[in-house]
Amino acid sequence: MLYQRSSQLFAEAEKVIPGGVNSPVRAFKSVGGTPIYVKEAKGAYLFDEDGNKLIDYINSWGPMILGHAYEPVVNAIIAKAKLGTSFGMPTEIETKIAELAVSMVPNIDKIRFVNSGTEACMSAVRLARGYTSREKIIKFKGCYHGHSDSFLIQAGSGAVTFGSPNSPGVTQGTAKDTLLADYNNLESVKAIFEANKGEIAAIIVEPVAGNMGCVPPKKGFLEGLRQLCDEYGALLIFDEVMTGFRLARGGAQELFNVNADIVTFGKVIGGGLPVGAFAARAEIMDYLAPIGPVYQAGTLSGNPLAMAAGLTMLEEIEKDLDLFKRLEEKTGYLEKGLRKVLSSHNIPFTINRVGSMISVFFDEREVIDFGTAGYGNNDTFKKFFHGLLAEGVYIAPSSYETWFITDALTYEDLDHTINAVNKIFS
């Protein structure tokens, strides 16, 4: 495939946009080459500026669970846009989507909409700190909760010490309140609680990690976090920006039957438009202004276009009783085919999957956390990525990102992908 137009557009973008992109992973730094510029998309396919058609496995990093340009969502956006695009005032549709979301997700009474997953997670942590009157939080190495200062922290000298910033601009003062634990390791979490008794406001965790590849929780891990939070008086925050309304109607809480105290959302809840949200039981949410002391605001929060897209998407998910079964079957079919092909070529690999999230790691060892996610052979991944691209298949340009399956994919698309992998390693 030729990407002359995309290369030209990237060169132009680099002159006026830092790195040529508005989000770093788009720059292809870990795989080489130049980014693909999308012109349009429909269903399971991207169409780039050079006229190439690509089967899409990132789906805007998750929200396109029903496919690109899904007609009911597009129609809802158009209809709402004709009435005005932004008011900065309450609209009825905000209440409608709130009522639907609360009815679908376990253990939440109230929800507040924001503009991104980053904003949702930032606000959830502030709320947890305000509610508990504590300052420290625990996060896990490799879990990404947006680019808020509190989350851009890497491990310090040990699990019980505070972290250090891994981005200039994040202060040591901020870093000292973020404590790092190992994903799927309850002992590391317990050690932090013991070393910081009475100081920890919350644990924030991706119930299924998606930013070190797809890494499922070990059996008992989420249940153990719930127990430790109860024992030490901290809140449990599930970052369901990726998993919410994708792994089940009620998200990871429903799938794993573990209740969080605060849940954050993004991706699917916006139907493809920029939306985030955080939700909890009434006694926690009522700590928010204007009725409580914890301040959080946003001029464009509850934007009518975003609310129209999100409401329509949730309504479609709610009424399609077989959606999650189909997604599970399609992703399982893809996993089975990939395993067969990679095994036949004696390629060392591990595949992790939960529902419609899936990742391929090019190493035989089990991937359970950030450390083990780094075992994969990046040269093999580069070959894999560019080989798929040459065959008209687009996956995330990083081995540390999960794939997202859309219901719009056909079994012919899946077979094409599996055959493309066979061709790469033949």
Residues designated as active site: 144, 239, 267
Contacts of 412 (CB under 8 A, 6+ apart): none
Closest by CA to 142, choosing from 152, 150, 132, 133, is: 152
Residue 53's φ and ψ, nearest 5 degrees, are -105, 130
Give the single-character DSSP code of 68: B
Question: CA 102, CA 107: separation in Å to the nearest integer?
Answer: 8
Residue with token string 């699990």: 159
Chain-centroid distance of CA 325 in Å reads 21
Contacts of 424 (CB under 8 A, 6+ apart): 383, 384, 387, 388, 391
Give, in degrees to the nearest 5, the angle at Cα 364 between 359 and 366.
65
Angle between helices 304-319 and 92-104 (to 10 degrees): 30
Token digits for 353? 């999957």
Contacts of 45 (CB under 8 A, 6+ apart): 53, 54, 55, 56, 68
